Amino acid sequence: MLQLLLVDDERSVVETLAETIPWEECGIGTVHEALSGATALEMMENHAIDIVITDIRMPGMSGIELITAIHDRWPHVHSILLSGYAEFEYAKQAIVNQSFDYLLKPVSDEDLIDSVKRLVQRIQEKWEEAASYQKALYTFQENLPLLRSTLLNELLTGKSFTAVALADKLKLLELPYTEGEQLGMLVIRMEEHLSDMAGQDLALIEYAICNIVSEVMQTDFHIWHTRDAHDYIVILASVRQDSKLFPGKLDHAKALLEQYAAQIQTNVQLYLKGAISVLVGSWGQFPHQIRASYEHAVMSMRKRMGQGKGLFVTASDEPACEPVHSIRSLYEPPTLISLLEAGRFDDVEKKLAHIFEELLRSSENYDIAEHMIEVYHVLAGAFSYIIHKNGKQLSSILPSESYRYFQAPSYTTAQQLLDWSIRTLQYIREDSEQELKDNHSTIVRSVKSFVDRHLAEDVSLPAIAEHVHLHPVYLSKVYKAETGEALTAYVYRLRMEKAAFYLRTTTAKVFEVAELVGYNNTAYFIRVFKKFYDVTPQEYRDSLPS
């Protein structure tokens, strides 16, 4: 939905338009209000305005000057001019400043609605054109290296894809890898002055190193690279079909990859004047063994290379042993903490199910008791973190039997630990939902109190939003969700009901009643009152029993 800005030096005009026009039916999601050109420009700075409807004759900055300034700074913004002066000069200036339409005041609702709908349609057509296939394809090609790098990072960190989804991604990114194919891995650590560079310079060094890798290996291998969270360059290598190594001869390919790795290390030192350490990892089947190969390589970098410089290690040098594995799903993205922070409680529950499935599978090879300790501490840490981040204590959210688990865990089976996890999650979820509900109710009460107290003053959406310290768009959504009524509709209805009350219970003149409910322009007040009650204020008063 688009955002629209109404500009007029008469408050009653902008508020009447904001309240009486069915903006959502026109394709407008948020309506902002400004009483001067200067205020309008300030609002343009802070909001993503799409359409400006402005009066021409205003003190200070005129509407023509306003749309000229807007066109210079925000050329994508469209404008509609309103004026009570049917002069050709104004129309000409509107055309010069590329205003979409020029309407004479007093403008009828029908004419304004028609103009806005036509403009919204034009904007939508423009965006549809911008999202055309050719432009999307161009953008895709521009970002292809980044998209390839991102996919590899996701595979290295354990993100899973269905076979069909992964095959589609590989085809889209023009990556010649197939399920079950044997791939080699290189891990490169930048050192000396190479690692001292930050930001863009480090990216350029990565680019230069990968060019060297490509130059050395491209005859025999397809290469796919990324930079991981440790700033290591990770490279997957698969044998090209047109290589002399194809088909088969995996042992020859492994030996050749090690030779190429040594040559890359030498060339980086020679041409980039900096050292790198290189680890030639174990080969594995794509994609299922890639993560394990990567984790083993990173562990080897840490254990065997340490702080040494210019080192070269191969998988064939590794001692044969079977390490104890951690429960990987505990650490796979999205993590428990990130899901809890986002309030994605259903996904947290699914995550817990995956964790305990893996825990039970691990019991086939290892002592499950140690893995339960690992699972408990990660879960307890994540639950404690989110409760404390919400500004509360564990004891204020959890009943005593669940709270005791944090002080002295008493589980003996995986099922008991899972049951505690699900219960704790439910308590956190209920507290979060209640807090959100209470917060929204408080917002609605505050809004209604403010509107009731300031009905004769400024009760525009921006003024109300400022009072409750919320963004106007968010406030509108919260109010509508809680009450079922749009905030602008509530203000309009309250003004009309108050006006009717004053007409029934006082002898105030119509223009005085108009001012009491926030309308400085009596003609506008009469118009909106009649639209609400189907009679004018005077007719309403005359119809009352004497």
Residue 469 to residue 489: CA distance in whole angstroms = 21
Band of residue 142 on the pLDDT scale cut at 50, 70, 90: confident
- The residue assigned the tokens 């004419």 is 111
Span(s) in the chain for CATH 3.30.70.1230: 143-317
Are 387 and 340 in contact by the 8 Å Cβ rule? The answer is no
The architecture in CATH of the region 454-542 reads Orthogonal Bundle (1.10)
Are 451 and 396 in contact by the 8 Å Cβ rule? The answer is no
Judged by DSSP in three states, 327 sits in coil
Residue 88 φ/ψ, nearest 5 degrees: -60, -35
189: β partners:
232, 277
CATH class given for the domain over 2-131: alpha beta
pTM of the model: 0.52
Q: Mind listing the pLDDT tens digit for each residue in 310-329?
A: 888 886 555 544 555 778 88
Residue 281's closest CA among 236, 240, 321? 236
Q: Mind listing the pLDDT tens digit for each residue in 81-136?
A: 888 766 556 666 666 567 888 888 778 889 999 999 999 999 988 887 766 666 77
Letter for the amino acid at 273?
K
What is the pairing mode between strands 284-285 and 182-190?
antiparallel
pLDDT for 426: 95
Are 427 and 402 in contact by the 8 Å Cβ rule? The answer is yes
Q: Mind listing the pLDDT tens digit for each residue in 523-544?
A: 889 989 999 999 999 999 999 8
Are 318 and 326 in contact by the 8 Å Cβ rule? The answer is no
Are 279 and 301 in contact by the 8 Å Cβ rule? The answer is yes
Span(s) in the chain for CATH 3.40.50.2300: 2-131
| Helices vs. strands in the chain: H and E counts, helices first | 24, 11
In the predicted model, is pLDDT for residue 196 greater than 80?
Answer: no
Q: How many CA within 13 A on the CB side of residue 100?
A: 22
Which CATH number applies to 143-317: 3.30.70.1230, 3.30.565.10, 3.40.50.150, 3.90.25.10? 3.30.70.1230
Residue 71 to residue 74: CA distance in whole angstroms = 5
Mean pLDDT of the chain: 87
- Helix (H), strand (E) at residue 504: helix 487-505
In the predicted model, is pLDDT for residue 453 greater than 70?
Answer: yes
Are 80 and 66 in contact by the 8 Å Cβ rule? The answer is no
**Structural tokens at position 215:** 């130059």
Handedness of CA 355, 360, 364, 366 (dihedral sign): positive
Residue 135 to residue 138: CA distance in whole angstroms = 5
Span(s) in the chain for CATH 1.10.10.60: 454-542
- The residue assigned the tokens 């990859």 is 257
pLDDT for 520: 85
Q: How are strands ordered across the β-sheet holding 78-83?
A: 28-34, 2-7, 51-55, 78-83, 101-104
Residue 272 to residue 302: CA distance in whole angstroms = 25
Q: Mind listing the pLDDT tens digit for each residue in 273-289?
A: 888 999 999 899 999 99
Residue 147 to residue 142: CA distance in whole angstroms = 10
Are 353 and 347 in contact by the 8 Å Cβ rule? The answer is no
Any long-range contacts for 528-536 (C-beta under 8 Å, 24+ apart)?
Answer: 528/16, 528/19, 528/20, 528/492, 528/496, 529/496, 529/499, 531/20, 532/492, 532/493, 532/496, 533/496, 533/500
Q: Mind listing the pLDDT tens digit for each residue in 463-519?
A: 898 999 988 888 988 999 899 998 988 999 999 999 999 999 999 999 999 999 998
Residue 78 to residue 75: CA distance in whole angstroms = 8
Residue 358 to residue 348: CA distance in whole angstroms = 15
Q: Mind listing the pLDDT tens digit for each residue in 25-59?
A: 999 988 999 999 999 999 999 889 999 999 988 89
- Helix (H), strand (E) at residue 535: none
Q: DSSP string spanning 445-477? A: HHHHHHHHHTTTS---HHHHHHHHT--HHHHHH
Letter for the amino acid at 461?
L
Dihedral, CA of residue 506, residue 509, residue 515 and residue 520, to nearest 10: 170
Q: Mind listing the pLDDT tens digit for each residue in 340-358?
A: 998 999 999 999 999 999 8
Judged by DSSP in three states, 117 sits in helix
Higher pLDDT, 272 or 224: 224
- Asked, as a colleague might, if the bond just before 247 is cis with ω within 30 of 0, I would say yes
**Structural tokens at position 241:** 């079909």
